[in-house]
Structure 1
């Protein structure tokens, strides 16, 4: 597998993967042509040195997965860096063969390379299989997350 930063040409495939699950179908707008808000978001992510939108390619250079890492600098933890992983998706026909674990191992190593002191994620409580997967990787539910949607 090959991990690389996403390019503008990858956006449509990424959005398609993000929209291809029960929750994603409700909140995404995958269509052709792709709505401009996705292009604008990609440009902002790509311009930010603390954001890494990653695609995963197989041995045939086909895109089979994606994830986004954000590196958050803050004052606590002695000026530490917190890594946040989001939007981890695997193409539907490639799920269930261990790619998720490989992608998380890559992300953990990348966070360590950037000197992050922890890697965090949020997951929807409606995804019990995902929660079990994250726990098996060593993630612990140490805090109660809260959100307000606008």
Structure 2
């Protein structure tokens, strides 16, 4: 995926490819928004970031994926999202842009940053050949659902998940 950094909200925020050092602040942002009932028990041991760092390495190595670090003017993580291009045979061989893990730091919500991030994501999808943008949202995040609807997304499908236990 060929993604270019972009200025958001009049240059106050910058989107860039996340780096390894961004993993810890991004994980803190994700966990802060996670409904308590969905919390996953941390991996015991000396490095609780280890599974996240492995996931980051896989994302960073895959050209169909882009993990965004959105920085504020002080260089701190203000938001994040992950983009994945998915070529499909369905819908006339459409390329889909999957948007995942859209999160804005709590102190920056309701100022247009999330909308600017989504506008940027949609534009990047188009630039990379996507003809459809899709996302999922936790059923309990009702304010996120209202946000996505304001961004022009329709709740068109019912999603299903199956958690797989670790292999012995």
TM-score normalised over the length of structure 2: 0.81
User: Whole-Å Cα distance in 2 between the matches of residues 107 and 26 of structure 1?
Assistant: 27
Establish whether residue 15 from structure 1 lines up as the match of residue 27 from structure 2. Answer: yes
For structure 1, the 5+ residue unaligned runs are none
Establish whether residue 3 from structure 1 lines up as the match of residue 18 from structure 2. Answer: no
Q: Decide whether aligned partners of structure 1 residues 92 and 33 sit closer, same or farther in structure 2, where only a CA change above 3 A counts.
A: farther
Q: Deviations over 1:90-138 (max 9, x none)?
A: 1222222221111111111111111101110111121111111111110
> 1:141 maps to which residue?
155
* Cα displacement (A) at 1:29: 3.8
Larger CA Rg, structure 1 vs 2: 2
Q: Deviations over 1:57-111 (max 9, x none)?
A: 1122221110000111122233321111111111222222221111111111111
> 1:95 maps to which residue?
109
User: Whole-Å Cα distance in 1 between the matches of residues 67 and 110 of structure 2?
Assistant: 22
Match of 1:66 among 80, 87, 94: 80
For structure 2, the 5+ residue unaligned runs are 1-12
> 1:50 maps to which residue?
64
User: Whole-Å Cα distance in 1 between the matches of residues 19 and 97 of structure 2?
Assistant: 21
TM-score normalised over the length of structure 1: 0.91
Count of residues in Structure 1 that have an aligned counterpart in Structure 2: 150
User: Whole-Å Cα distance in 1 between the matches of residues 128 and 107 of structure 2?
Assistant: 32
**Which region of structure 1 is more displaced relative to structure 2, 100-109 or 23-32?**
23-32
> 1:83 maps to which residue?
97
* Cα displacement (A) at 1:142: 1.5
Instruction: Tell me the secondary structure at the aligned position of residue 140 of structure 1.
Output: coil
Map 1:26-37; keep pairs closer than 5 Å. 26-27=39-40, 29=42, 33-37=47-51
